[in-house]
Amino acid sequence: MCEPACIKYTAGSNFTCSDTVTAKAVAERTYKAAVGLFAMLCNKYGLDPLADGVVISHREGHSRGIASNHGDPEHLWAQLGTGYTMDSFRKAVKAAMGSASSGTDGYTKIMGDATATAEQMKAYLKAKNPGVAQSVLDMVPLYLSEGKAEGVRGDIAFAQSCLETGNFTFFGSAVTLSQNNFCGMGVTSNGMKGNSFGTPQLSIRAQVQHLKAYASTDALKNACIDPRFKYVTRGCAEYAEWLGQKENPAGKGWAAGAGYGEKILSILKGILGMTGGESKPAEVWYRVRKSWADASSQKGAFKSLDNAKKCADENPGHSVFDESGKAVYTRAAFKPYLVRVSIPDLNIREAPGTDKPKTGKYTGIGNFTIVEEADGEGASRWGLLKSYQEKRNGWISLDHASRI
């Protein structure tokens, strides 16, 4: 990871910086490049970046006694105030390893065209808040027009406002209707009043710009009126699901509360189910995770329940969850069994598939215990040998073994 040219070391890992803005931009660029490189390598060699010792920094290597005494790259991130950590880096690598491992299939991009109409948004609001002020209903179309101007889904912005304001009742909210602040802008801790805007349109424009800051690195089309735009790490939350800091692979996001993004999407689902105030069936996704709360463990999201079950079967410890977070399928516990290998040169591979590296070892002729099965190239099914169970790096083709 290249270091900015504008830093000068003073002693050890301490340095001075002549251009912090440029230095942060360089750090962000190299961070993202490194995430992509490590994701490619982990995919290529079947590695889990969240497993112990798979991805470590120079500093962590020194603490393990396998590297010289340097602080890279944590010293750079910390002194520039980027907020990056090795834990966030490893999570970002996991998320970048493609839809099969990051689970971004079925996730909702913030950038794009709105799906809901102004009529659906108004109908939803009147159903949830029958006493909603007419002035609020009149401003609903602004979410779509301001969103379109910046390429942001205005219906997501509206759903977020419904969450932040209690469907514009402002019950329990830190902001009030008179502030023209419909997204909690500037409420960074309990007791803070937050920002105020001169008109509803300016408030919605600032909210849309703030969402764009999280979802994209593209320049704003309108003049920036978002007072907190400069504090966002651009492009760190491409998906609505990543607006919550706990679910964001880089540990960044709009809000610290658990499940923030999914709460917004739950409201959006309700909006999209409105037609003249009546509900219609909405699209359903099934997500495969270790637990509903552990979004980072997601292996995929599927419209087909059968496909979701198959994914869960291929990933021990994972279950299928519906959109309410209810587990609808859990794979039965795998029971180890014995196989007989009758050829002396059956290759043992580091991962299931003939496209995966060989360990350089053979089973030989004999009986072996299989503790896990998986699909992979070159065989109808692969089996994990018991002696390789801890690191899961010893697989054989079951086409060349007979079950005893």
Q: Residue 377's domain is classified under what CATH number?
A: 2.30.30
Q: How many residues belong to the chain?
A: 404
Taking a C-beta distance cutoff of 8 angstroms, is the pair 299, 284 a contact? no
Q: Is residue 109 part of a domain?
A: no
Q: Are residues 122 and 237 in the same domain?
A: yes
85 and 125 part of one domain: no
Helix, coil or strand: residue 23 = helix
Domain shared by 231 and 366, yes or no = no
Q: Does the residue 107 lie in any domain?
A: no
Residue 242 and residue 299 in one domain? no
Percent helix, strand, coil in the chain (nearest 5)?
A: 35, 15, 45
Q: How many domains does the chain have?
A: 4
Residues 6+ away with beta carbon under 8 Å from 358: 347, 348, 349, 350
Do residues 194 and 175 lie in contact, with contact meaning Cβ atoms separated by under 8 Å? yes
The reply to whether 44 and 153 lie within a common domain is no
Task: Report the distance separating Cα 357 and Cα 57, nearest Å.
Answer: 25
- Do 249 and 127 fall within a single domain? yes
Residue 279 is assigned to a structural domain of this protein: no
Q: Could you read off the pLDDT tens digit of each residue along the chain, which spans 404 residues?
A: 678 888 998 888 888 999 888 888 888 889 888 988 898 888 878 888 988 899 999 989 888 889 898 888 989 988 988 888 898 889 888 888 763 344 566 789 999 999 999 999 999 999 999 999 999 999 999 999 999 999 999 999 999 999 999 999 988 777 788 899 999 888 766 667 788 999 999 999 999 999 999 999 999 999 999 999 999 999 999 999 999 998 888 888 999 888 899 999 999 999 998 865 444 445 578 898 888 877 778 888 888 888 888 888 888 788 998 876 788 888 777 789 999 999 999 999 999 999 999 999 999 999 999 999 888 889 888 999 999 999 999 999 999 999 99
Q: Which domain holds residue 341?
A: 337-403
Residues 154 and 225 in one domain: yes
265 and 129 part of one domain? yes
* Domain stop point among 254, 274, 294: 274
Looking at the fold, whether 55 and 125 belong to one and the same domain comes out as: no
Beta carbons within 10 angstroms of residue 187's beta carbon:
18
**What is d(CA 193, CA 224) in angstroms, rounded to the nearest whole number?**
22
H helices then E strands: how many in the chain?
11, 15
